[in-house]
Amino acid sequence: MARTQKITTHLWFNGNAEAAVEFYTSVFPDLKVTHIARWGEGGPGLQGSVLNIAFEMAGQSFLALNGGPQYPFTPAISLFVTCDSQADVDDLWTKFLEGGGRPNACGWLDDRYGLSWQIVPTALIELMSDPDPKASGRVAKALMGMQKIDIASLRRAHLAA
């Protein structure tokens, strides 16, 4: 398993790493599994079952471990996905909520495996970077009232006087 990325995000799943990676493959068509390690004879896991899966998603390396229930995911760590359009935001939002995902505030959600994601349009980053503190403040206030981010609402808030 060759690695070119010095730091790899390690994701600790509760026995469902394989299902999670299959799901992420359906969400991100460019995801590719690069290695699967299975438990051998005498290991704590069932012989032949998945220990971990190395994969690449959007050019980043990840490792999904079937670690058990000891360490559940929290929103303290999330994967930040930038989107170029409202259609991209809507598509990802819908896919991540299918099968038990939960929306949170300000573009954050937890997928069915408990992993936190931020689905963020590039427009939000641009509008929040406005050097006019009143304009960027209106955008921030509008954002605080959203679960899924709505670009049109952010633009209206930005332009409001």
Q: What is the pLDDT of residue 5?
A: 79
pTM flag (> 0.85): yes
Separation between Cα atoms, residue 91 and residue 29, nearest integer Å: 13
**What one-letter code names the amino acid at 118?**
Q
Render each residue's pLDDT in the chain as its tens digit; 161 residues. 555 678 999 999 999 999 999 999 999 999 999 999 999 998 888 899 999 999 999 999 999 999 999 999 999 999 999 999 999 999 999 999 999 999 999 999 999 999 999 999 999 999 999 999 999 999 999 999 999 999 999 999 999 97
Question: Structurally, what CATH architecture does the domain formed by 73-161 represent?
Answer: Roll (3.10)
Q: What is the pLDDT of residue 2?
A: 57
Q: What is the pLDDT of residue 42?
A: 87
In the chain, CATH 3.30.720.100 covers 7-69
**What one-letter code names the amino acid at 51?**
L
> Is-contact 48 39, C-beta < 8 A?
yes
Query: Smallest Cα–Cα separation from 14: which of 114, 98, 153?
Result: 114
Instruction: State the fold for domain 7-69.
Output: 3.30.720
Token output for 101: 């995902």
In the chain, CATH 3.10.180.10 covers 73-161
Separation between Cα atoms, residue 29 and residue 26, nearest integer Å: 6
What distances in angstroms separate CA 120 from CA 6, 23, 25, 146, one per listed residue? 26, 20, 20, 12
> Is-contact 66 40, C-beta < 8 A?
no
